[in-house]
Amino acid sequence: MFRLWFSTHNTFSLRKGAQTPMRRQMLRCRIAVCGALLGAMAAPCLGSPDVRGEATTFRSPHGTVERCVALAHAPTGNYSAADQEQEREFCGIDFYGTTHALCAKVFSTSPGTLVFDLRGGPYAGSPVRFETENCGTRSVHKRGAPHDPISYKMSVNTRESSATFANSSLVYYHFARYFDTSVHVPVAVMRSMDRSEHAKRVTAAGVRLSAGTPNLTMNHAAWLALQSAEQNPDSYRPREELFTPDGQIYGVMLQPTGRRYGEEVNGTRRSGWGDGQNRDFQQTAPYLALRSGKPLAEAIADGKAQAQRDPVLAKAMGAEATPQQMVFWMSDLIDITLLDYLFGQQDRIGNVDFIPYWYWVEDGEVRRAVASGGAPPPDLASRSPVRLRRTELGDNDAGVRVTYANYARRTGMLEHLRHYRANTYRQLLRLDADLAAGGPLHEYLRTTFGLSGGEFASIVTNVHSAAGILRADCKAGRLRFDVEPEEFLLRGAVSERRVDCENP
């Protein structure tokens, strides 16, 4: 089947500040999606590297031209300057230069590559020495690295391994910006790599270090599958979800920074994998508050009181579940349930993280700063800040693929909600209308992420279903648009928004 992966649309130009050796060709170009150019020709059965965006190229020691692609931004998406800077930083990393080292990720259930920035540390300029001295154990190899590692993960889906689909993280990042989410979803870019170099520098160590340890059985199985595939790309099916047409391996680069929530947000998980733990998730205090028909302040108290009947949840909440924290959690759950309903993330439960922040009011505005300890720094102490946990969704690589289970939809996570955010509702209706009319968002979703026809159609169906559920509750007067956490923090109350249920 003929497929076009790489097409130039503008004149090449050297990236500002780029080095110019032949090994490192950092050139700007455009990536074109085969579906956009080939029209009605057959699409791949599953996701592929046919993404659209701005690319930077590198050359491996074997002469293979690798690509890092910062995908095109979503129409009307709210991207910060920090988002765009991080995209540039990720796509400025030369795996064969002197600034970064690569180590095998040998923990959890899926394989991956940890990319360490060595600048400013004792191994600065010496990636080979860092890899030799620090990449031979099963831990996260931070000794001697001044920064937390960037994660580089590719799709690996076998009977023996856990589910990982790289394209999903790209979809989550860009649609989080479209919805202007309360939760933080990390910046993600697509990156290809010479498979022989990855096999030599990373996979061999992954296979060796994961062997013989019972709790790494799935991790080891995935490393073995990756090793076999890198030796013979045709042995992996579907080939296009792991390899580019010219035989490079590809995946996604991102840098989650959160720490794992306990049962207070992830739920008790006592009912086991699948439907059970997804229903347990819906028994947490903020979730129950979203489903309470009472006004916001009373709903917060109601949700907390119901959850405290469970000793495990009561202990997990402790003193953290203040009214201010609860309304932020409610806002975060609106995003989690909607994104997972649309994109079918199958292993969200147990993988929801947080970043602590100090919040305070200054000059009539809510401000925040990352909290590094339990006490505010001296310059903030006089402002009486409150410490709140803000949610991060850093693990988004088990969605979108049509073979995955959509537990958010299966267990009715959008049904019976009684509180919502007005802007999120409007954006959902706009997306639904645009997809139905074949508008800019329709084309953006169809042509940007390397999705198959089935994956695209599944998202369109999920968007229409989600809009229908929330629209029906809105029209019946059952939905209050009052989840505005910063207003609640500022005033102690929220004025309910008026929303046209039919027209965004």
Mean pLDDT calculated for residue range 198-211: 96
Q: Read out DSSP for 41-74? A: SPPPSS--S-B-EEEEEEE-TT--EEEEEEEPPP
Give the per-residue pLDDT at 47: 67
In what helix (H) or strand (E) does residue 365 lie, and over which residues does it extend? strand 365-370
> Is residue 159 over pLDDT 60?
yes
Query: What pLDDT is attached to residue 163?
Result: 86
Residue % of the chain over a pLDDT of 70: 90
Non-local (6+) Cβ contacts of 502 within 8 A are: 429, 471, 475
What are the φ and ψ backbone dihedral angles of 353, each rounded to 5 degrees?
-115, 175
Return the SS3 of 5: coil
Which is higher by pLDDT, 424 or 26? 424
Average the pLDDT over 126-152 and give the result. 86
**Mean pLDDT throughout 470-493?**
97
Q: How far apart are CA 180 and CA 199, in angstroms?
A: 38
Q: What confidence score (pLDDT) does residue 493 get?
A: 95
- Per residue in 395-432, pLDDT tens? 999 999 999 999 999 999 999 999 999 999 999 999 99
Q: Are 416 and 477 in contact (CB under 8 A)?
A: no
Please state the rounded mean pLDDT for residues 198-216.
95
Would the pLDDT of 21 be above 90? Answer: no
Mean pLDDT to the nearest integer, 115-126: 96
Which pair of tokens denotes residue 268? 């008790």
What are the extents of the domains in the chain? 29-254, 260-491
pLDDT digit string, tens, across residues 291-326: 999 999 999 999 999 999 999 999 999 999 999 999
CA–CA gap between residue 500 and residue 369 (Å, rounded) = 35
- Confidence band, pLDDT 50/70/90 cuts, at residue 29: very low
pLDDT, average across residues 154-177:
94
Q: Distance (Å, rounded) from C-alpha 126 to C-alpha 425? A: 50
Average confidence (pLDDT) over 221-235: 96
pLDDT score for 162: 83
> 467-470, long-range: CB within 8 Å, 24+ apart, which pairs?
467/428, 467/429, 467/431, 467/432, 469/414, 469/415, 470/414, 470/417, 470/420, 470/425, 470/428
The Cα-based distances of 479 to 340, 382, 386, 469 in angstroms read 20, 39, 29, 11
* SS3 call for 490: helix
| pLDDT above 50: residue 128 | yes
Q: What is the pLDDT of residue 36?
A: 32
Band of pLDDT at residue 139, cut at 50, 70 and 90 = low
Q: What is the pLDDT of residue 387?
A: 97
**What's the chain's average pLDDT?**
90
Among the listed ranges 4-8, 81-85, 314-318, which one has the minimum average pLDDT value?
A: 4-8
